[in-house]
């Protein structure tokens, strides 16, 4: 089964706290088993890699219950049901969600604190968290929005690359490889790359100062849908063979056919294929062709600070 959303976890979390003080890590383990999550689902991480998805959703369930006054924090990582929480359980609800929590003034105040006054001072506000009916946690909303922004940026990058000259594309490959730690510097890498296209090779990057280890490059600016086939891979392999090279990098602004991928994997030389999706992702990761417009810091409570 898939990992339940954080609102689905609210009632089970409250029930766990009904028997006395509980530890959040224990609740996560118990509910993961009770919901029949597989080992892969239990281990699935957020994009940050710092927390599992199931732990994040259960933490948010507990946070929302606390903001509504249904549970109380006792000590670090521990909580217990409140009298209000017991009253809610006494009504035998089939589920607890944000709509139910909204009936409590404390939760309404919490939601209002998540709103930012408009710049024109007109009294309207912009919700920062998910709507009440949204099953995503605030973390998931933020990361999905971030992903949408990056998808749009990657599309713009690819359009600009395809409109540019072959020389610009070669320079882009140089800058990217240098940013990734190859070639020493842009000047050194530029000299190593060259523009002669001699022998079917568009460039070469030295991985060390003496040029003992080199990466040979093929760079192709193809339109969307004009995918690289196995023939181009075999031709590149032949060029690598002429240079007695053991590895190569084939960069394209389109994609590779299944046959091309299979061919690259079957050949005796190591050939890495970089398609348009991977290319633009690497450009964003290493800040090539883009810049940071704004930095948002996601902070969490430092429980050690508040420990006597």
16-33 per-position pLDDT tens digit: 999 999 999 999 999 999
Indicate whether 166 and 277 sit together in one domain.
Answer: yes
CATH number at residue 232: 3.40.1350.10
Q: Which of 59, 91, 115 is the last residue of a domain?
A: 115
In this predicted structure, the answer to whether residue 119 has a pLDDT above a threshold of 60 is no
Q: What percent of the chain shows pLDDT beyond 70? A: 87
Task: Give residue 211's pLDDT.
Answer: 66
Q: Is 75 exposed, middle or buried (0-12, 13-18, 19+ CB in 10 A)?
A: exposed
Give residue-wise pLDDT tens across range 215-239. 889 888 888 889 999 999 999 999 8
CB atoms within 10 A of CB 234: 14
Mean pLDDT of 184-188: 75
Q: What is the domain range of residue 47?
A: 10-115
CATH number at residue 77: 1.10.10.10
Confidence label for 148 from pLDDT (cuts 50, 70 and 90): confident
Specify the number of domains making up the chain: 2
Mean pLDDT of 107-114: 79
Question: Is 0.95 surpassed by the pTM of this model?
Answer: no
Confidence label for 64 from pLDDT (cuts 50, 70 and 90): very high
Structural domain contains residue 107: yes
Structural domain contains residue 308: no
Backbone torsions φ then ψ of 250, nearest 5 degrees: -110, 115
Task: Give residue 125's pLDDT.
Answer: 33
Q: Give the residue, 111 or 37, on which the prediction is more confident.
A: 37
Indicate whether 108 and 169 sit together in one domain.
Answer: no
Mean pLDDT of 92-121: 78
Structural domain contains residue 293: no
Structural domain contains residue 290: no
Task: Give residue 127's pLDDT.
Answer: 35
Mean pLDDT of 188-202: 65
In the sheet with 203-206, reading across from the earlier edge strand, the strands are 203-206, 214-220, 247-252, 270-274
What stretches of 132-243 show up as alpha helix (H) in DSSP? 138-163, 166-179, 186-193, 230-242
Indicate whether 99 and 168 sit together in one domain.
Answer: no
Indicate whether 227 and 278 sit together in one domain.
Answer: yes
Indicate whether 50 and 162 sit together in one domain.
Answer: no
Give residue-wise pLDDT tens across range 79-92. 999 999 999 999 99
Task: Give residue 284's pLDDT.
Answer: 95
Q: Which two tokens stand for residue 174?
A: 């140089």
In this predicted structure, the answer to whether residue 242 has a pLDDT above a threshold of 90 is no
Q: Which of 170, 258, 260 is nearest to 220 (CA)?
A: 170
Task: Give residue 199's pLDDT.
Answer: 62
Indicate whether 62 and 162 sit together in one domain.
Answer: no
């Amino acid at each position: 089964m898939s990992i339940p959303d954080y609102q689905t976890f609210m009632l089970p979390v409250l029930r766990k706290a009904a028997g006395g003080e509980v530890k959040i890590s224990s609740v996560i383990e118990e509910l993961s088993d009770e919901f029949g999550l597989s080992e892969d689902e239990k281990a699935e991480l957020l994009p940050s890699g710092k927390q599992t998805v199931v732990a994040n959703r259960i933490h948010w369930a507990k946070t929302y219950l606390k903001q509504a006054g249904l549970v109380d924090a006792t000590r670090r990582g521990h909580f217990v049901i409140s009298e209000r929480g017991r009253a809610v359980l006494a009504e035998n609800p089939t589920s607890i969600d944000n709509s139910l929590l909204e009936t409590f003034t404390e939760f309404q105040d919490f939601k209002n604190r998540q709103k930012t006054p408009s710049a024109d001072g007109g009294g309207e506000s912009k919700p920062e968290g998910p709507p009440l009916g949204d099953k995503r946690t605030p973390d998931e909303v933020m990361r999905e929005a971030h992903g949408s922004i990056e998808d749009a940026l990657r599309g713009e990058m690819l359009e600009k690359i395809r409109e540019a000259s072959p020389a610009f594309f070669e320079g882009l490959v140089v800058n990217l490889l240098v940013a990734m730690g190859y070639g020493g510097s842009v000047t050194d890498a530029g000299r190593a790359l060259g523009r002669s296209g001699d022998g079917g090779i568009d460039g070469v990057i030295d991985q060390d100062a003496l040029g003992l280890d080199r990466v040979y490059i093929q760079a192709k600016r193809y339109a969307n849908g004009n995918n690289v086939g196995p023939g181009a891979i075999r031709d590149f392999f032949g060029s690598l063979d002429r240079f007695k090279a053991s590895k190569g990098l084939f960069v394209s602004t389109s994609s590779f056919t299944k046959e091309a991928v299979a061919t690259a994997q079957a050949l005796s030389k190591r050939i890495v294929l970089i398609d348009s999706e991977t290319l633009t992702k690497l450009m964003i990761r290493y800040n090539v062709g883009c810049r940071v417009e704004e930095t948002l810091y996601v902070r969490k409570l430092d429980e050690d600070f508040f420990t006597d």
